[in-house]
Structure 1
Amino acid sequence: MVFTVFLRRELSLRFLSAVAFYLFAVSCTTASATRPSYHITPDSNWMNDPQRPFFLGNEWHMYYLYNADFNEANPSAGGGTEWYHVTSTDLVHWTRRGVAIEKYKPNQNGVYLGDIETGSAVIDTENTAGFGLNAVIALATQMADGIQQQSLFYSTDNGYTFTPFSGNPVMPSPNPGAKPDFRDPKVIWDGARSQWVMALGEGNRIGFYTSSNLKTWVYRSGFTPQDSGVDLGLLECPDLYQLDVDGDATKRTWVLAAGANGYRYNRTTGTAYWTGSWDGVQFTTANIFPQWMDSGPDFYATVSWSDPLLTGNQLYASRRAIGWMNNWEYANNLPYDGGWAGQLSMVRDIKLKTVGGAVTLVGMPISSYSTIFDTGTKVTGKTITTDPSTASLPAMAGGAYVIRTTVSKNAGDDGNEVRIRIKGDDTFSTTVGFDFVHAEAFLVRDNDGTATDGMPQTPKQAYDTIRTVSVPMEGNTVTLTVYVDWNSVEVFLNDGEAALSGLLYPNSGAGSIQMVSGSGRLTLDSFTYADAGS
């Protein structure tokens, strides 16, 4: 892979080509592109939605949707998913454990309810379900013949194997004839009211249910943005949790998140969220228009969780989060040619912070990732010119690395954009950067390589669309942290106040990084890059 990082964007009519005043290059060569090195991928076949991790037996347990019947030539054909189990002690290095909840298996009454789709698992510390103290209880959607229902599975060996509950489904479809969307149960313990709470995707709304035993559920209310004129299409993969705003326990706030379709608002699919209150029956927000956890094209089906080793107010200071790096607008049309398809994002540490006057979810990769990167090469106090020989840097080892750079538009600087170019070769590239005039970060990949070769027009357009996000500015400086992992990029602005995540398909390995201004002069305050090891 050849990677070139610029302070320059050349891929749309809006962004005119211009003279580059500052340029440096980092060169490396690799025989061929490969799977990501620090992102979770399946050993083979298809993966998508992550399932919320939990900590038990001194290790983290996570599941993801897996399709062993994946057809590389026709990804949309065949299969159905099941839950694949992975474990970790640091949320960075993961061990594959195999399928934990199998699809198309009869329950104890011999009834086939379908494949295993998204849901959530909880540790039943009080034995409310009757399967034993600390049993792992998973509730997941099963679908057969288009009918979506919720089933319960329990594990008494720390989540390695599960048994289907004989009373499945615990939540039958409310209208089997109409086959409505009725899926993705996210279950939490509402300690203030001593009840289990479920958030469930129900078409264009999120339904809320409560239970005392995880088996019998009572409908309480629904949250429907469309009732207020906000059309986000199908809502799925909901999440409900609490965080303290700016670390202040007196400002503890509920967050409701969901996978949503933002194309009516010049967005793609992504993770929308609202801040508000939960009274044990319904969720209420003062602003029905959502915010977005990540404005890139490939961050979906997000799950979040707290660290059970924390106590008191620490539990509400931050959470972890992870998402599926793909997009249903084109997921079935990407060039899967290595026998595997799909990856998860990096694990993020997320917080509620007041940014530009708005309470905002901010997030950065967890600190444990520092263990996989070398000490890095740092550039400071260096004059960067259009002559790359004045800013030569040692070669990188491969296509997995992190870039941290701070750029300013100081008095006398007449540049408008910083552009970082991730390059496949002299023809293909992806560009990320920041526009100082509009206070906006961007991801441009309509010329990234092989992604859209032979792709039909509609998914191609979705893939090629430039993705942007506003970044509230306090001063004239922006910090970009860019994680590149062979076929993906995750960009974080100003310590996670905004993010853009996307897949990449460079066609010839990682080669060089170039950074330029879109026009005129900008000040490079610092630049550091580090290769990923193991």
Structure 2
Amino acid sequence: MGTTTASGARPSYHVTPESEWMNDPQRPFFLGGEWHLYYLYNSDFNFSDPTAGGGTEWYHVTSEDMVNWTQHGVVIEKYQPTEGGVYLGDIETGSAVIDTDNTAGFGANAVVAILTQMADGIQQQSLFYSTDNGYTFTPFSGNPVMPNPDPTAKPAFRDPKVIWDGASAQWVMALAEGNKIGFYTSSNLKTWVYTSGFIPENSGVDLGVLECPDLYQLDVDDDATKRTWVLAAGANGYLYNRTTGTAYWIGAWDGASFTAVDVHPQWMDSGPDFYATVSWADSRLDEDERYVSRYAIGWMNNWDYANDLPYYGGFAGQDSLVREIKLETIDGAVTLVSVPISAYANIFGTSVSVSSKTITTDPTTASLPAMAGGAYVILTTVSKNGGDDGDEVRIRFKGDGTFATTVGYDFVHGQAFFVRDLDGVATESMPTAPEQSYDAVRTVPVSLASNTVTLSLYVDWNSVEVFVNDGVAALSGLIYPNPGAEIIEMVSGTGQLTLDSFTYAGVSV
């Protein structure tokens, strides 16, 4: 669980590096009775100057429940030479697949990782393979398997995401190429042929440099006859009142190209820190069951300020909770809905609850139970009943009387919000430009069938992930509260509201 430091504590139930820096998670797989997750790791990270010391590599962790993870160290090292003595650079984002039918020739059930390597600013795709369930990898002698065709025209040529397309009996790769997602196919994971590209800017919307694409299928509303494709990517959402985040499109894949129903994206999470997202199916399920839902995890950080955060404890970075995602029709639109996987319930201790209270601008009115510590979950339902005249409910947590992070719901404008402009350590120390991005208020529209909203808050020392109305919307972000900040309050902006229920449970030791 969490390890206390001078300024806070290591998150208790999120994946973090033992030391130094981590960023993009790599899509997990289940093999040998356990889940295998890799993440980008920089052992040369310089806390005094985060822009110095570079190069990432793949770090390996495993789990039986996707909640408790065991560290195994670096498995694909940066700056290693090929058999010919050529250095291909650092190890960046890609994806690993289990080659069940030995299409690549490394053996049945070999783990094949295809990832970006960059040297001298040139991004290319290389292949590494494992014959021991993903614990060690060998570089392919023919690397790079996908050389950059023109580094001047394709300075961004990265983040291959590989899937097996059963309908066309071939491997498919989605690759981030600047403002475009390129699609490639292969029969053997070594030789790739370009088939098409998806450019969301055709709509006149500039999403910046796209990263970390993801292509998969899900059933809409648990209906197999409505099975559809989803294309996701890390994108810049400044035209949507956000910075970077995970955009996605609903559409069709025909074995060669993706066609979106609407070129304007939706967003998996409306908070500031949910990026480089990967998703995966549970291979233990029957084939049809795999399309009902799948899992997802993201990097909890933002390049607008990643190099300016007040990291503590000798490590920098964390992944989000593992989420179960589904496609549901919300207000007439097919939407990704996400909630934390059920296994997280096992880490929380005895809960305490209150119900049928009044919320006013006075924090003592709600009579919340006594709480302590920095890792907990809060489940609460708030209503604006006939006699209520309140405008919004605000939950202030990790406070010290002066600083706090606030989340809540605005009944007047029909939106949930996430506010950390009074966060504490980060607010006090960050340079002006990153601070403006860090402090920006994040909102997401959430319509209510009745005047009742349910909020689930997963707080883990220096992060919070908020799920609204069973995951119809989510807001996730890092927080850096002042030492000892533990106050939790619930108030209205004006007037009064009704607290139907409030349940708190801390992480059990």
TM range, smaller chain: over 0.9
* 1:518 to 1:143, Cα distance in 2 relative to 1, 3 A: same
Residue 155 of structure 2, aligned match among 180, 195, 199 = 180
Alpha-carbon displacement from aligned partner over 1:132-162 (angstroms, at most 9, x marks no partner)? 0000000000000100000000000100110
CA–CA distance in structure 2, aligned partners of residues 146 and 326 of structure 1 = 23
Pick from 326, 330, 340 the counterpart of residue 305 of structure 2.
330
SS in structure 2 opposite 1:446? coil
**Residue 327 of structure 2 corresponds to residue 364 of structure 1:** no
**Is the Cα–Cα contact under 8 Å of residues 334 and 452 in structure 1 kept in the other structure?**
no
* Residue 420 (structure 2) aligns with: 445
Letter in 2 for 1:241: Y
Indicate if the aligned counterparts of 1:424 and 1:508 stay in contact, CA closer than 8 A: no
What is residue 219 of structure 1 aligned with on the other side?
A: 194
- The AA in structure 1 aligned to 2:420 is R
* Alignment deviations for residues 408-429 of structure 1 (CA, whole Å, 9 cap, x no partner): 1111110010100013311111
Aligned residue among 313, 317, 323 for 1:342: 317
* Secondary structure in 1 matching 2:28: strand
Matched, 1:499 2:499: no
**Please, which of 157, 160, 165 is the counterpart of residue 190 of structure 1?**
165
Cα distance per residue 1:211-237 (max 9 Å; x no partner): 000000000000001122121001010
User: Equivalent of 2:227, from 248, 252, 257?
Assistant: 252
Which structure's relative contact order is higher, taking Cα pairs within 8 Å and 6+ residues apart? Answer: 1
Structure 2 counterpart of 1:81, from 32, 56, 64: 56
1:146–1:179 CA contact under 8 A, matched in 2: no
Deviation at 1:394, TM superposition (A): 5.0
Give CA deviations for 1:382-439 in whole Å, capped at 9, x if unaligned.
Answer: 4566776676555434100000000111111100101000133111111100001111
Counterpart residue type for residue 418 of structure 2: L
Give the conservation status (yes or no) of the 8 Å contact 1:408–1:524.
yes
Residues 168-177 or 29-38, more deviating:
29-38
Q: Which residue of 2 aligns with 1:265?
A: 240
SS at match of 2:307: helix
Distance 1:418 1:386, change over 3 A: closer
Task: Select which of 66, 81, 95 maps to 1:120.
Answer: 95
CA contact (8 A) 2:272 2:475 kept: yes
- The verdict on how the C-alpha distance between 1:209 and 1:30 changes in structure 2, with shifts beyond 3 A counting, is closer
| Letter aligned with residue 85 of structure 1 | H
Q: Which residue, out of 161, 166, 169, partners 2:136?
A: 161
* 1:434 alignment partner in structure 2: 409
CA distance in 2, matches of 1:310, 1:458: 47
The within-5 A match list for 1:281-430 is 281-382=256-357, 392=367, 394-430=369-405
Match of 2:499 in 1: 524
Q: Distance in 2 between matches of 1:193 and 1:38?
A: 40
Distance 2:476 2:418 in 1: 8
Could you tell me which amino acid in structure 1 is paired with residue 73 of structure 2? G
Q: One-letter code of the match for 1:310?
A: L
Counterpart AA for 1:451 = A
- Contact 2:310–2:429 (Cα < 8 Å) also in 1: no
SS at match of 1:226: helix
Distance 1:504 1:454 in 2: 13
The aligned counterpart of 1:21 is: none
Match of 1:8 in 2: none
Offset at residue 452 of structure 1 (A): 3.5
Question: Quick one: which amino acid aligns to residue 44 of structure 2?
Answer: D
* Structure 1: distance between partners of 2:57 and 2:459: 29
Aligned equivalents of 1:171, 1:287: Cα separation in 2: 31
Aligned residues: 506
Indicate conservation of the 8 Å contact 1:203/1:233, yes or no: yes
Paired position in structure 2 for 1:472: 447
Moved more, 137-146 or 170-179: 170-179
Map of 1:23 onto structure 2: none
Q: 1:388 to 1:491 in 2, by over 3 A?
A: closer
CA shift in 2, pair 1:30/1:424, >3 Å? farther
- 1:225 to 1:389, Cα distance in 2 relative to 1, 3 A: closer
Residue of structure 2 in register with 1:514 after alignment: 489
What corresponds to 1:14 in structure 2?
none
How far residue 60 of structure 1 moved from its aligned partner, in angstroms, is 0.2
Secondary structure of 1:370's counterpart equals helix
Pair 1:392–1:474, CA change in 2 (3 A)? closer
Q: Is the 8 A contact 1:30 1:509 kept in 2?
A: no
CA deviation after TM superposition for structure 1 residue 30, in Å: 11
1:380 is matched by which residue type in structure 2? S
For the 8 Å contact 2:359–2:491, the answer to whether it is kept is: no
Distance 1:189 1:104 in 2: 29
Q: Deviations over 1:42-65 (max 9, x none)?
A: 000000000000000000000000
RMSD between superposed Cα atoms in Å: 1.6
Whole-angstrom distance in 1 between the partners of 2:6 and 2:428: 21
How big is each residue's C-alpha offset from its partner over 1:168-227, in whole Å with a ceiling of 9 and x where there is no partner? 000001113455200000000001111000000000010000000000000000000112
Change (3 A) 1:449 1:140: same
The residue type paired with residue 208 of structure 2 is G
Unpaired segments ≥5 residues, structure 2: none
Please name the residue that 1:486 is paired with. Answer: 461
Q: Alpha-carbon deviation of 1:510?
A: 4.0
> 1:3 maps to what in 2?
none
For residues 456 and 388 of structure 2, the distance between their equivalents in structure 1, rounded to whole angstroms, comes to 22
Amino acid at match of 1:407: V
The one-letter amino acid paired with 1:200 is L
Alpha-carbon deviation of 1:123? 0.2
2:32 is the alignment partner of 1:49 = no
**TM-score, structure 1 length as denominator?**
0.92
Report the secondary structure of 1:451's partner residue: helix
How far is the alpha carbon of 1:335 from its aligned partner? 1.0
CA distances 1:256-304 after superposition (whole Å, capped 9, x unpaired):
0000000122111000000010000000012000000000000000000
Contact residue 47 and residue 65 of structure 1 kept, 8 A: yes
Q: Secondary structure at the residue paired with 2:183? A: strand
State the alpha-carbon separation in 1 of the partners of residues 363 and 118 from structure 2: 57
Tell me which amino acid in the other structure corresponds to 1:308.
Answer: S
Q: Is the 8 A contact 1:399 1:509 kept in 2?
A: no
2:383 and 2:452 in contact (8 A); partners too: yes
Whether the 8 Å contact between 1:486 and 1:510 is mirrored in structure 2 is no
Map 1:85-124 onto structure 2 (within 5 A): 85-124=60-99
